[in-house]
Amino acid sequence: EFIQKYANHPTYIPPTGPELNAKNWQSEAALRMFLNNLTDEVAEDPSRLVVYGGIGQAARTVADAQKIIEVLLTLEEDESLLVQSGKPVGKVRTHAEAPRVLIANSNLVPHWATWEHFNELRERGLMMYGQMTAGSWIYIGTQGILQGTYETFAACGRIHFNDDLRHKLLVTGGLGGMGGAQPLAATIAGATFLGVDVDPERIKKRLETRYIDKMTYDYEEAKRWALEAKEKGEAISIGLVGDIGDVLEKLIQDNITPEILTDQTSAHDPINGYVPNGLTLEEAKELRERDPKEYKARSLKSMARHVGFMLELQRRGSRTFDYGNNLREFAQQGGEPNAFNIPGFVPEYMRPLFCEGKGPFRWAALSGDPEDIRVTDEALKELFPENTHMIKWLDEAEEKVAFQGLPCRICWLGMGEREKAGLMFNQLVRDGKVKAPIVIGRDHLDCGSVASPYRETEGMLDGSDAVSDWPLLNLMSNTAGGATWVSFHHGGGVGIGYSQHAGMVILADGTERADRCLSRVLHNDPAMGIFRHADAGYETAQQNAEKFGLKL
Ligand code: NAD
């Protein structure tokens, strides 16, 4: 009956309201967030169980999805479900303060950790690509990356443009699940935005959810709109259908140099994520199925061409940065030797935040009622009246962000703040100020949960970029601390072979048990970021360790 109503493939709907379907709120939370990841408004392609980021899935097969639901509906508080690359494989005996679900996605022994081997296993039904929050059931739609993207563009403005992005043109490729946050982040930051995607359906989705203002198939029209808006200092966003390489080539020919240039195509996956230059979407699909080797070769060559144009625009003065999709590595493999002359966005703009234990804290209202998010927003503003940056963000988000699926909020918080916020949310549930429990989670892209040498840990002070003991310690401390579900993944963001990372989600259901778990987990999790960066020699992290009394 439940499957009929909520998980009738390809239609997935998260249950809402204060009534339980599962036996307890911990399992119910996992159930609702799993279904939320797959619901139409949230997932990029529910028919293939694809949530975002190329082929990032929530479950391996439709049968696995249904089995996961069946188990979560009956899971007791002294049991935990094991999920191996999107397939439920067993239950272990645990206790009420242990995670209800333990997830491992896409992990391979390092020597075998290549896309070729992974795809072979995937075709044989043995593995699934979990990306970051797809396979760990805490993807919240494009909003999830919105604030991080905004923080990045704003930092770029602060560092290079006197903190003023008006009359500045920002050009990028890829308007998919995450990349689709770029237009709104750019306009909130004050810039004029031109984004290019080869798939018109992706741009239409951004129009529907109010992430982008206008769309066209015509380069000349997009150019006219962009230049006029830039001239007038209008923060509007334009989506252009096309190949990003072709559009950059035309901009160069027309002598147009955007002030800011980046990219969020799914370059991390040369076969399933990037569309080679010169192919229509249909031709790309056909070639991908018929001859993946040829497809990959053409993909790498196109990325080399694409990055070649980025380098030319960088020479002409565009502030150009890699946006965490491993484009530089594959462009280099495709024949562009200077790809790494483009800096990564983490060392440029994010690391100072990581040294404060800051990261993409987020929460969802399991009631399904947007009013609950409004209540949490207001309560946060009251809790941190001195944090004017956060308050500005919450005001902008309330006005401009359309919810997708269960109402939720992203809000970067740091060491100390996360624990206070979590305990405060638990109190709101206890006092009946919100209509049902709240789940709190974060992206794996956080201060102490990733090893990813071309992204989060690029250019670490002590050269420890590739050391992945840290995300494992993060996973272990969140498991020991009592998160509600935890996950360890490989390959998120930058692709198989290039990253390892841990996720956690924790429930605020108003109980004293939740108070204990929240205060452990939301202390330890950002503390891992401070440990990691202090150990690598970052002075601000060392100072923060002292400030927060962390025992280094
Ligand atoms: P997605 O697969 O949903 O979207 C990728 C988009 O790129 C698609 O819409 C596709 O049509 C488009 N595209 C592919 N080839 C193109 C081409 N040649 N020209 C123009 N458009 C093309 O992926 P997503 O979730 O948006 O993620 C995008 C990338 O960003 C991924 O590599 C992901 O790992 C990375 N990422 C970065 C961050 C970050 O914080 N920087 C966070 C999450 C994801």
Is residue 282 included in any domain, yes or no? yes
pLDDT of amino acid 235:
96
Same domain, 157 and 101: no
pLDDT of residue 144: 87
Same domain, yes or no, for 436 and 503? yes
Q: Can you give the residue range of the structural domain that contains 92?
A: 2-123
Distance from Cα 310 to the centre of ligand 1, integer Å? 17
CA distances to 345, 447, 472 from 538, in Å: 18, 13, 21
d(CA 192, CA 229): 6
DSSP 8-state symbol, 120: H
Measured between alpha carbons, how far is 408 from 56 in angstroms, rounded to an integer? 21
Ligand 1 pocket test, pick from 178, 206, 330, 404 with the greatest ligand atom count within 8 Å of Cβ, gives: 178
Give how many domains the chain has, as a whole number: 3
Q: Which of 58, 92, 123 is the last residue of a domain?
A: 123
Pocket of ligand 1, beta carbon within 6 A: 44, 52-54, 145, 148, 173-179, 196-199, 202, 243-244, 264-268, 273-275, 323-325, 445, 493
Q: Does the CA dihedral 109-112-117-118 come out positive or negative?
A: positive
Claim to verify: residue 331 and residue 366 sit in the same structural domain = no
pTM: 0.91
Same domain, 309 and 405: no
Domain CATH number, residue 297: 3.40.50.10730
In this structure, are 382 and 523 located in the same domain? yes
Judge whether 192 and 236 are in contact, CB under 8 Å.
yes
Does one domain contain both 334 and 475? no
Does 492 lie in the same domain as 433?
Answer: yes
Whether residue 134 lies inside any domain: the answer is no
The pair of three-digit structure tokens given for residue 207, joined into one six-digit string = 């129009």
Measured in Å, residue 205 CA sits from the centre of ligand 1 at 14
Residue carrying structure tokens 């491993």: 326
Out of 247, 248, 266, give the residue to mutate to test ligand 1, the one with the largest number of ligand atoms within 8 Å of its CB.
266
Shared domain check, 393 and 271: no
Could you tell me if 328 and 439 lie in one domain?
no
Instruction: Decide: 184 and 178 in contact? Cβ < 8 Å.
Output: no
Look at residues 343, 376, 404 and tell me which one is the last residue of a structural domain.
Answer: 343
**ipTM of this predicted structure:** 0.98
For residues 119 and 149, state if they share a domain.
Answer: no
388-438 pLDDT, tens digit per residue, is 889 988 998 999 898 999 999 999 999 999 999 999 999 999 999 999 999
Q: Is residue 349 one of the residues assigned to a domain?
A: no
| 108 in any annotated domain | yes
Does some domain include residue 159?
Answer: yes
pLDDT in tens, the chain (552 residues): 999 999 999 999 999 999 999 999 999 999 999 999 999 999 999 999 999 999 999 999 999 999 999 999 999 999 999 999 999 999 999 999 999 999 999 999 999 999 999 999 999 999 999 999 999 999 999 888 898 999 899 989 999 999 999 999 999 999 999 999 999 999 999 999 999 999 999 999 999 988 999 999 999 999 999 999 999 999 999 999 999 999 999 999 999 999 999 999 999 999 999 999 999 999 999 999 999 999 999 999 999 999 999 999 999 999 999 999 999 999 999 999 999 999 999 988 899 999 999 999 999 999 999 999 999 999 999 999 999 889 988 998 999 898 999 999 999 999 999 999 999 999 999 999 999 999 999 999 999 999 999 999 999 999 999 999 999 999 999 999 999 999 999 999 999 999 999 999 999 999 999 999 999 999 999 999 999 999 999 999 999 999 999 988
Q: What is the CATH number of the domain that holds 503?
A: 3.40.1770.10
Residue-wise pLDDT for 488-515, tens only, equals 999 999 999 999 999 999 999 999 999 9
Q: How many CB atoms lie within 10 A of CB 347?
A: 17
Q: Does residue 137 sit within a domain?
A: no
Nearest CA to ligand 1 atom 11: 199
**Residue 64 and residue 188 in one domain:** no
Q: Are residues 425 and 481 in the same domain?
A: yes
Residue 411 a catalytic site member: yes
